[in-house]
Structure 1
Amino acid sequence: MDKAMQKVNERLTPEGKMDVLSKWEVHTLLTASKERFSYEFRACSLAVLNTGSTEDNAKAVLEQYPDFKIEVIQQERGIKLQVSNAPAQAFVDGEMITGIKEHLFSVLRDIVFVGNEIETNPRFDLEKTEDITNAIFHILRNAKALQTEVLPNIAVCWGGHSINRIEYEYTKEVGYQLGLRYLNVCTGCGPGAMKGPMKGANIAHAKQRITDGRYIGITEPGIIAAESPNPIVNELIILPDIEKRLEAFVRMGHGVIVFPGGPGTAEEILYLLGILLHPKNKEVPFPMILTGPKSSEDYFKQIHHFIESTLGFEAQQKYKIIIDDPALVAREMRSMIEDVSDYRRSTSDAYYYNWILHIDKEFQLPFIPSHENMSQLELHKDQETHLLAANLRRAFSGIVAGNVKEEGILSIEENGKFQISGDEEIMTPLDKLLSAFVEQKRMKLPGSEYIPCYEIVKPRNLS
């Protein structure tokens, strides 16, 4: 039997995570893991155990291990996790790899325990902007991710899981330069542009004799199977959906570096631009640098032109583009994060959570990428620019769902491609950008044949 398909059973004891629980908490975990969150708990646990796989299709991962089981077992002194028919790659000589074990208990903590708390607690009305932000804070604090009395030092790195080797090596070099400057790294936790910066920073931290370097991976249930946590992540945090995941990045991080990617990266760029374009955030500093090797220069020109054609010149002023200069990227980010520190100090905002940043409900409420919702997106310029950015983000979010998320893949199989339409001055640059992603093989992991999950229908004529 192929070693990757061998399966192992083990009973796990929490170490430092969820090791001290009340009887009520144990009962909550037992009940919620078997009922309300049973599917998500199993799917996310399998994704963690499958770390290192080259598969980026959530549905395919679940189909590979149909007999995989994970159960919460009650003990006199708390709980244990029983895993059955788990991927053998998560074990060494019959024992689970420590980092994977930690990630498994992070799944239990965020999906089952905190998920149940937020859904059943009347103080969190997830239709209200303030309560959504408070819920995200609650999740991050419970994960012990919010460090007080520490100056801003978290560089968020976004980029694709499907990038070429030259681009990957570049992300490592940027991460290395960030680490030399005592910055920590937060990414979407998967492979490609999410792994590279962490790997580079890890080496730099070792050179600087930094023993508490942070490699924070933020994900959500729908995407984790396509972007299983890479081995360097030492803080895994799972948010309930993509919108809360994105808000967690900008609330917790102090600046963003964007590497080459595909529709998911475009979604992230549009999300942040939409927030920064809101009039209430005009004075709030939030660094954003787009960067890649010389071979990726055309990619960033395409992104830059798309933003000019859709959101305009003002949006282009919200970021810098630096090509083929990792040290300059790190110096600029270090300098701009110092500006963030000064601003937080002057406004009495917390260093560890960006409370003052205004985020509209349009960027917070989960977008369900159904065929109906995708076809009814408001893709026209007869609206405020930050709202157009929100709708463009939803379009890319739907494409991500159709590419890699189980429910999106199933929906495409059942109902055909998503139909995306809008005004010609929006649809033409959108079509060009998506076509470039396909041509450059940025939609799927290398080696996977890509069949588009969307169709740009005949644009509406301008009236």
Structure 2
Amino acid sequence: MSPATVNARISPRGGLDVLSRHEVSRLRDASSGGLHELLRRCALAVLTSGSASDDPRAALVRYPDFDIQVQQQDRGIKIELAHAPAEAFVDGKIIVGVAELLYAVVRDIAYVSTEIQGSGEFDLGASDDITSAVFEILRNARILRPHVDPNLVVCWGGHSIGREEYLYTKSVGYQLGLRAIDICTGCGPGAMKGPMKGATIAHAKQRRRSNRYIGITEPGIIAAESPNPIVNHLVIMPDIEKRLEAFVRVGHGIIVFPGGVGTAEEILYLLGILLHPDNAGTPFPLVFTGPSAAAAYFEQIDRFLRLALGDSVAEHYRIVVEDPREVARAMQRGMDKVRAHRLDTKDAFFFNWALRIPAEFQHPFAPTHENMARLKLHRDQPAHLLAADLRRAFSGIVAGNVKEEGMRAIEQFGPFVIDGEPDIMRALDDLLRAFVAQNRMKMSGEYKPCYRVVAAD
């Protein structure tokens, strides 16, 4: 039976009432140089907000006739939806929160195309320009809030987690909310939704208004991890590297819950940056946490990180098990140090300009079989460079699991081959096998690995 659909015409608000003719034309253009197909995919993802599927193709299969058109009118623009999911509407009117996410999709796709990629003002091969582009996208999305003390915690973790772990993320979010802390996540389900849900209750109890539940995503992942309904500020970055940079530039501390390869990628990204000599002494509170049942998970993560990057890597994080209140207190203490450091260095509270992010962590990694095979996964190099390539390895597996281009590559050429130093490969293989056994790779259905680890001596 076909799902119910709705045709609708809506008027954007919140800074999206003016687009140029060129922007409108590109958003409507379905050719290779146009943005329409990207717009259609991302729009459908937010219209199915809260979906339990992590298959990026599922929504388009379910709603094959869905279309979106941006029309220029004498008084601004109109967004026309054809065969849109009925779940996004109540009594014929689009849900306000869903409409806001839809406006964010149009805003970010148009802005990145014209002002970042097409303006000629940014050399996206240069590190400083990449950071400036990240700043401009976040500023255009009205994410950067001046005159506010550090209070934004980024929560990372898996979209495919068990009930006990999910409830724990809510408890942590609740404790953060009681302390007037805002939440930023990857915007999807699981560990990305739980902290926001817990914080909403605590914020309500504290009668706190203007709460921020920020979701930062990118086009390759949004269809597999559609925004959860609590997100009230959505930003679509151009690629995973700029998404990760956005997290560490706007966040004042990071909490990591149990997750799979995407969470491992995020961990390696941040630790690789913190291990760079230029960032020595820069406070950045980082806590790994979960319920008692997740203790073994973090022990294995800790062993892998120490083996690959050296025991000193553990100086940059703390593991807290089954104690949401202590996690929130640790974040609060850490953000006090961040505030003092920013004042001393005259750095902004709303954007961490001083943090050095090496080019190895900024340039987009194309998850091809050739690129995966060329990764340098050995310890005879600086730890931050090994972390960069380990991050790329996990990024490739994420692509093979849930991103359209990665899935096509696996279907055409078979699993990615990951080769490197035997000790690291054995530890990596053990870690990935544990993710599979704990159902952290996929929300539903049997998982078929998109990779093969070579661990021979």
Provide TM-score, normalisation by structure 1: 0.96
Deviation at 1:283, TM superposition (A): 1.2
SS of the equivalent of 1:186 reads: strand
Deviation at 1:115, TM superposition (A): 2.8
Deviation at 1:308, TM superposition (A): 1.0
Contact 1:32-1:116 within 8 A present in 2 as well: no
- 1:386 aligned residue (384, 387, 391): 384
1:48 aligns with 2:46: yes
Contact 1:252-1:353 within 8 A present in 2 as well: yes
Deviation at 1:312, TM superposition (A): 1.1
Amino acid at match of 1:283: G
- 2:209 aligned residue (208, 211, 226): 211
Judge which range, 90-99 or 209-218, deviates more.
90-99
Contact 1:184-1:213 within 8 A present in 2 as well: yes
Deviation at 1:285, TM superposition (A): 0.5
1:28 aligns with 2:23: yes
Q: Find the aligned partners of 2:445 and 2:88 in 1 and give their Cα distance.
A: 24
1:377 aligns with 2:375: yes
1:453 aligns with 2:446: no
Q: Residues 96-150 of structure 1: CA distance to partner in whole angstroms, max 9, x if unpaired? A: 1111111011000111233321111122010000000000000000011101111
Which residue of 2 is the match for residue 126 of structure 1? Answer: 124
Amino acid at match of 1:411: A
Which residue of 2 is the match for residue 166 of structure 1? Answer: 164
SS of the equivalent of 1:197 reads: helix
SS of the equivalent of 1:222 reads: helix
How does 1:345-356 map onto structure 2 within 5 Å? 345-356=343-354
How does 1:276-355 map onto structure 2 within 5 Å? 276-355=274-353
Which residue of 2 is the match for residue 142 of structure 1? Answer: 140
- 1:427 aligned residue (416, 425, 428): 425
SS of the equivalent of 2:219 reads: coil
Contact 1:262-1:442 within 8 A present in 2 as well: yes
Q: Find the aligned partners of 2:59 and 2:410 in 1 and give their Cα distance.
A: 18
Q: Which consecutive residues of structure 1, in runs of 5 or more, have no partner in the other structure? A: none
Q: Find the aligned partners of 2:109 and 2:381 in 1 and give their Cα distance.
A: 37
Q: Find the aligned partners of 1:18 and 1:93 in 2 and give their Cα distance.
A: 25
SS of the equivalent of 1:189 reads: coil
SS of the equivalent of 2:81 reads: strand
Amino acid at match of 1:453: C
Q: Residues 154-205 of structure 1: CA distance to partner in whole angstroms, max 9, x if unpaired? A: 0000000000000000000000000000100000000000000000111100
Contact 1:29-1:113 within 8 A present in 2 as well: no
Judge which range, 111-120 or 168-177, deviates more.
111-120
Q: Which consecutive residues of structure 2, in runs of 5 or more, have no partner in the other structure? A: none
Contact 1:220-1:240 within 8 A present in 2 as well: yes
Q: Residues 227-271 of structure 1: CA distance to partner in whole angstroms, max 9, x if unpaired? A: 101000000001000000000000000000000000000000000
Which residue of 1 is the match for residue 113 of structure 2? Answer: 115
Deviation at 1:27, TM superposition (A): 3.5
- 1:186 aligned residue (179, 184, 187): 184
Q: Find the aligned partners of 1:312 and 1:109 in 2 and give their Cα distance.
A: 43
Q: Find the aligned partners of 2:99 and 2:91 in 1 and give their Cα distance.
A: 15
Amino acid at match of 1:81: I
Q: Residues 7-40 of structure 1: CA distance to partner in whole angstroms, max 9, x if unpaired? A: 1110110122312x26xx2442333442522221
**Do the aligned partners of residues 395 and 93 (structure 1) sit closer, same or farther apart at CA in structure 2, a change above 3 Å counting?**
same
Amino acid at match of 2:448: I
- 1:67 aligned residue (65, 68, 74): 65
Q: Find the aligned partners of 1:36 and 1:344 in 2 and give their Cα distance.
A: 42
Count, aligned residues: 454
How does 1:81-120 map onto structure 2 within 5 Å? 81-120=79-118
Q: Residues 328-363 of structure 1: CA distance to partner in whole angstroms, max 9, x if unpaired? A: 000010011010000000000000000000000000
Q: Residues 411-442 of structure 1: CA distance to partner in whole angstroms, max 9, x if unpaired? A: 11111111111110210100000000000010
Which residue of 1 is the match for residue 235 of structure 2? Answer: 237
Q: Residues 272-329 of structure 1: CA distance to partner in whole angstroms, max 9, x if unpaired? A: 0000000000011111000000011110001001101111111111100000000000
SS of the equivalent of 1:433 reads: helix
Amino acid at match of 1:205: H
Contact 1:59-1:405 within 8 A present in 2 as well: no
Deviation at 1:458, TM superposition (A): 4.4
Judge which range, 48-57 or 207-216, deviates more.
48-57
Which residue of 2 is the match for residue 444 of structure 1? Answer: 442
- 1:396 aligned residue (368, 371, 394): 394
SS of the equivalent of 2:138 reads: helix
